[in-house]
């Protein structure tokens, strides 16, 4: 048994048993992946995968147990490699944040500005992507923190609440509905709407509100980003529905926002980190800056086992 075999087992579960994708992730060949799996099954005298012909379609019961063990072992190996950086130069290093465009554009600037005053020697990278892409970055070790509007329920990710949000209505200041502070979904269903594409979490929440009221949203323009919604609302192409915090009154001075908290359900944006992974202390501090109701002790207790937590050097600002 070797670490490469454990990496292959873990990646096979992550890649939905597609061995070509596993090989690409691990920079090896598909034949090599298949050979490692066969050698490990022979050594353990168990079948790890359920097969359909030569294709893997699922895991056996012992296979699922092995994935859990492999994940734990590989995390501990990474922790050993991280020891020298975790316990040295607590105020220097790098912080990689995986998040969506809207979080990077509207939510994070002030937090990052404050963080940089506290840790000027920390180099920050912001990697943007979809919800699934940024979660994959975190799980692959390519990011320290993930921030998203929707909570990721992967058992390997521990999450902390960031802020509450709901959807608001955006429209030109001269729009016929602009003076209606008690706007209804029925009124909105009668005008062209500009909002998020189907499949995105905010859109699911919007559609749910209309469906629950027995109405249909007349969405004539679907986009991915909140600032793009604002752009097309400015052109008079429709009324926008966006996440309430994704509106900048200074940049969008010809637009107005109507509170939609009575129309659309509230949700929580989340901060996520990989479970049981040692972190530089400024990463704990960044999480606390995002949610100042959390203490450093609460953050570490939730993220780490008692043994891991006791080995950390406390670093207070």
Q: In what order do the strands lie in the sheet with 121-128?
A: 121-128, 92-99, 145-148, 267-274, 157-165
90-164+268-310 topology per CATH: D-Maltodextrin-Binding Protein; domain 2 (3.40.190)
In whole angstroms, what is the distance from residue 263 CA to residue 258 CA? 11
Pick the range with the lowest mean pLDDT from 164-173, 179-188, 298-307: 298-307
CATH class of 3-84: mainly alpha
Confidence band for 85, pLDDT divided at 50, 70 and 90: low
Q: Euclidean distance between the first and final Cα of the chain, in Å?
A: 44
pTM: 0.68
The predicted pLDDT at position 308 comes to: 43
The model's pLDDT over 208-241, given as tens digits with 9 standing for 90+, comes to 999 999 999 999 999 999 999 999 999 999 999 9
Looking at per-residue pLDDT, the higher value among 39 and 179 belongs to: 39
The predicted pLDDT at position 315 comes to: 33
pLDDT for residue 150 is more than 90: no
33 CB neighbour count, 10 Å cutoff: 24
pLDDT for residue 310 is more than 50: no
The predicted pLDDT at position 309 comes to: 45
Domain 167-265 in the same topology as domain 90-164+268-310: yes
In whole angstroms, what is the distance from residue 142 CA to residue 97 CA? 9
Q: What is the mean pLDDT of residues 11-40?
A: 90
Q: What is the mean pLDDT of residues 176-192?
A: 91
Confidence band for 83, pLDDT divided at 50, 70 and 90: low
| Cα within 13 Å of Cα(285), Cβ side | 18
**193 Cβ neighbours under 8 A, 6+ residues apart:** 217, 218, 219, 220, 221, 238, 239, 240, 241
Q: What is the mean pLDDT of residues 258-271?
A: 94
Is the alpha carbon torsion for 19, 71, 66, 1 positive or negative? positive
Element (H, E) at 133: helix 131-139
In whole angstroms, what is the distance from residue 48 CA to residue 300 CA? 34
Closest to 311 in 3D by CA, of 77, 80, 143:
80
**Domain ranges across the chain:** 3-84, 90-164+268-310, 167-265
167-265 topology per CATH: D-Maltodextrin-Binding Protein; domain 2 (3.40.190)
In whole angstroms, what is the distance from residue 67 CA to residue 188 CA? 49
Closest to 308 in 3D by CA, of 299, 317, 316:
299
The predicted pLDDT at position 306 comes to: 42
In whole angstroms, what is the distance from residue 62 CA to residue 274 CA? 24
In whole angstroms, what is the distance from residue 57 CA to residue 40 CA? 18
Element (H, E) at 239: strand 239-243
Confidence band for 312, pLDDT divided at 50, 70 and 90: very low
pLDDT for residue 194 is more than 90: yes
The model's pLDDT over 152-174, given as tens digits with 9 standing for 90+, comes to 888 889 999 999 999 999 999 98
Contacts for 310-315: CB closer than 8 Å, 24+ residues apart: 311/278, 312/86, 312/278, 312/281, 313/86, 313/87, 313/90, 313/281, 314/281, 315/90, 315/91, 315/281, 315/282, 315/285
List beta partners, residue 160: 271
- Mean pLDDT of the chain, nearest integer: 87
The predicted pLDDT at position 242 comes to: 95
In whole angstroms, what is the distance from residue 85 CA to residue 311 CA? 14
Looking at residue 275, the DSSP 8-state letter turns out to be T
pLDDT for residue 307 is more than 50: no
């Amino acid at each position: 048994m070797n670490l490469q075999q454990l990496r292959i087992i873990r990646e096979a579960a992550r890649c939905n048993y597609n061995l070509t994708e596993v090989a690409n992730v691990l920079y090896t060949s598909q034949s090599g992946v298949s050979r490692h799996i066969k050698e490990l099954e022979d050594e353990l005298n168990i079948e790890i995968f359920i097969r359909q012909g030569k294709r893997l379609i699922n895991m056996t019961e012992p296979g699922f147990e092995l994935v859990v063990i492999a994940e734990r072992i590989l995390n501990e190996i990474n922790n050993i490699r991280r020891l020298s950086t975790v316990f040295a130069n607590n105020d220097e290093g790098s912080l990689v944040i995986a998040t969506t465009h809207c979080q990077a554009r509207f939510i994070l600037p002030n937090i990052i500005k404050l963080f940089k005053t506290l840790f000027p020697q920390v180099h920050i990278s912001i990697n943007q992507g979809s919800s699934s892409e940024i979660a994959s970055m975190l799980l692959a070790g390519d990011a320290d923190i993930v921030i998203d509007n929707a909570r990721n329920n992967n058992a390997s990710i521990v999450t902390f609440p960031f802020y509450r949000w709901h959807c608001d209505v955006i429209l030109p200041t001269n729009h016929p509905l602009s003076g209606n502070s008690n706007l209804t979904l029925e009124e909105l269903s009668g005008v062209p709407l500009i909002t998020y594409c189907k499949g995105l979490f905010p859109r699911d929440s919007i559609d749910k509100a209309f469906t629950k009221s027995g109405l249909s949203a007349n969405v004539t323009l679907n986009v991915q980003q909140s600032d793009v919604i604002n752009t097309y609302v400015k052109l008079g192409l429709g009324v926008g529905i966006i996440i309430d915090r994704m509106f900048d009154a200074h940049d969008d001075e010809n637009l107005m926002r109507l509170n939609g908290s009575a129309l659309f359900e509230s949700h929580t944006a989340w901060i996520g980190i990989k479970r049981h992974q040692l972190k530089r202390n400024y990463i704990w501090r960044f999480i606390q800056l995002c949610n100042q109701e959390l203490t450093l002790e609460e953050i570490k207790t939730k993220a780490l086992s008692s043994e891991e937590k006791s080995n950390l050097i406390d670093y207070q600002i």
